[in-house]
Amino acid sequence: MQITADLIVILGTGGTIAGTAKTASDGVGYTAAQLSVEDLLAAVPALASRRLEAHQVAQLDSKDMDFLTWQRLATAVQAQLARPEVGGIVITHGTDTLEETAYFLQRVLAPAKPVVLTAAMRPATALAPDGPQNLFDAVQVAAAPGAEGVVVACAGRVHDATQVRKTHSYRVDAFESVDGALVARVEEGVVRLLGRWPSGEALGLACISRPAERWPRVEIVMNHAGASGAVVDALRAAGVDGLIAAGTGNGTLSVALDTALREAQADGVKVWRSTRCDAGPVMDLPGLLPSAGALSPVKARIELILTLLAG
């Protein structure tokens, strides 16, 4: 008997989308991660006709996202994807580290089925919450024919996990595909494909099987006017395994910071250059520290952690 893959699994992790405030007019002084994923679904009656299943994987403010939760989430996603009746997965998440979780899942799993992260900038108790619409749209994306890979669906737009960045502190359309086209738009419940679904080779769960407390320590340092090497020296003394330099412009670094980073590299610390700019790659030029390509500093950090775990 052929099994129809029409089940969409919703995995909850907390965030503002599950947040509450004392008054409906309070869109800032709320507490994240208060409502269950079942509560979020109950607020979207338009999804009643869909075949859905909900599980709570975590319940936290995404500013506090950690390696252990990433391990649990990746394992849960893989287990659900392996079920033949599952057509796609939606993950409710906080906006603060959503781009990091999305990139992590894409690199580890590179799923052939869609994994859609969604979030909200306003708590569920707001006068006009954005969470219900985003959750509705995310389910439509997860059920879209031909969809695959990890994407982010917010404010009617669908972003590639590699491209997406949070670029605004409070607007409901806080996310942008900063160095490329959108994957799709969701218009009145219909997914209109604009680009290509993410693809790639999965690193696999074995890559992240090491206990979370033993993952490599990789930190980010930033170039700025008057930047010295003091932070690098302190992190090197503390036993850091890798450093991402968020340089100015095309990954440029002050003489003092560059010197400290080269000394750390000579001492066995893995060092990559990224840029603090919102978009654009860092060129890999002779004589300079290695480039992180077009990855933002936070995504370059994830990539370096995975590289060190694998190697």
Active site residues: 16
35 vs 48, 59, 63, 145, 149, CA distance in Å?
19, 9, 17, 31, 27
Residue with tokens 């580890």: 108
303 secondary structure, DSSP code: H
User: Are 70 and 91 within 8 A, CB to CB?
Assistant: no
Measure CA 225 to chain center. Answer: 30
Burial of residue 251, with CB atoms counted within 10 A of its CB: 0-12 exposed, 13-18 middle, 19 or more buried: buried
195 secondary structure, DSSP code: S
- Identity (one letter) of the amino acid at 229? G
**Could you give the 3-state DSSP secondary structure of residue 138?**
helix
How far apart, in whole angstroms, are the C-alpha atoms of residue 262 and residue 253?
11
> What would the two tokens of residue 25 be?
């007019």
